[in-house]
Amino acid sequence: MAAITQGPRFLPSGDTALVVEFGDRIDRGLSAAVIDLAERLRVADLGGVTETVPTFRSLLVHYDPLATSAERLIEQISGLIAGPIGDRAAAQASTRLWRIPACHEAGLAPDLAEVAATTGLTPDEVIALFGADRYHVYMVGFVAGFPYLGDLPEALRLPRRETPRVQVPAGSVAIAAGMAAVYPYESPGGWHLIGRTPAPLFDARAEPPALLRPGDAVLFEPIPKAEFERIARAVAKHDYALMPEALA
């Protein structure tokens, strides 16, 4: 993975936020640079910065205009990222590994057969291929706690559904356009649903409420429907929690 050696672009986002843009594509190196800068800003604790939001290729920096200014922040951020940062960021991009249980059986994977037919694979081959990769959390968005996970195996890369669903069940494991995702709660959506997890990815009572954060790694582990139901019962009793593994 090549280091990011070219300086980022600074773009205003209204009068209370600044965009630090590292590139124009979805790329692990750019993601690493974004996540690295977010961590540097957290450690630096610059006066006036209220929040940072990592995206695929840029970092949105919210600030209090009464405490600082865009010009001041550009100067400070430029100092923080002076020199190549991609190499160090790439090594630190995924610090936590989450093993997310997913059931791909009938009733929980409404698009699995269609995905298999479209890709020329069997449903079992789709499940095996999907579960073999370790995914990188590029960003969290769309709805609170919704993780954009890359990079999907080439054989499973399909465009989004022509007609989105009005209601996608909570926990639905989905794929579209080179990415995977999990719907943290019921919402509209146009991705292909190939499974479901009983594990909660968002809890408004928790701190932080979103389970995954940019830079995390995710493995999906197939489970039978009986295990799905057992975990779902434990979740309902607040007696279940996923725990991450540390990555070197």
* Element spanning 73, H or E: helix 70-80
Q: Which residues of 178-204 are buried (b: 16+ CB within 10 A; e: fewer)?
A: ebbbbbbbebebebbbbbbbbbbbbbe
pLDDT at 248: 61
pLDDT at 198: 98
pLDDT at 206: 87
Q: What is the pLDDT along the chain (248 residues), one digit of tens a residue?
A: 444 446 799 999 999 999 999 999 999 999 999 999 999 999 999 999 999 999 999 999 999 999 999 999 999 999 998 745 444 444 454 479 999 999 999 899 999 999 999 999 999 999 999 999 999 999 999 899 999 999 999 999 999 999 999 999 999 999 999 999 999 999 999 999 999 999 999 998 888 999 999 999 999 999 999 999 999 999 999 999 999 998 76
Angle of helix 112-119 relative to helix 123-132, nearest 10 degrees, comes to 90
User: Do the domain assignments include residue 55?
Assistant: yes
DSSP tag of 202: B
DSSP tag of 64: -
User: Do the domain assignments include residue 169?
Assistant: yes
**Are both 115 and 43 inside the same structural domain?**
no
**Which tokens sit at 55?**
């995206």
DSSP tag of 98: E
CATH number, domain of 42, equals 3.30.1360.40
Tally of domains within the chain: 2
CATH number, domain of 186, equals 2.40.100.10
Cα dihedral across residues 241, 173, 145, 99: positive or negative? positive
Give the closest residue to 194 by CA, choosing from 127, 122, 125, 138.
127
**Are both 139 and 76 inside the same structural domain?**
no
Q: Which residues of 11-36 are buried (b: 16+ CB within 10 A; e: fewer)?
A: eeeeeebbbbbbbeebbbbbbbbbbb
Task: For residue 61, give its domain range.
Answer: 9-92
Which position has the token pair 């773009």? 11
- What are phi and psi for residue 116, nearest 5 degrees? -60, -45
Residue where one domain finishes, among candidates 75, 92, 109: 92
**Are both 29 and 100 inside the same structural domain?**
no
**Are both 40 and 153 inside the same structural domain?**
no
pTM over 0.85: yes
> Which residues are CB-contacts of 213 (< 8 A; sequence separation ≥ 6)?
96, 137, 140
**Are both 158 and 104 inside the same structural domain?**
yes
pLDDT at 89: 46
pLDDT at 247: 79
- What are phi and psi for residue 89, nearest 5 degrees? -65, -40
**Are both 126 and 226 inside the same structural domain?**
yes
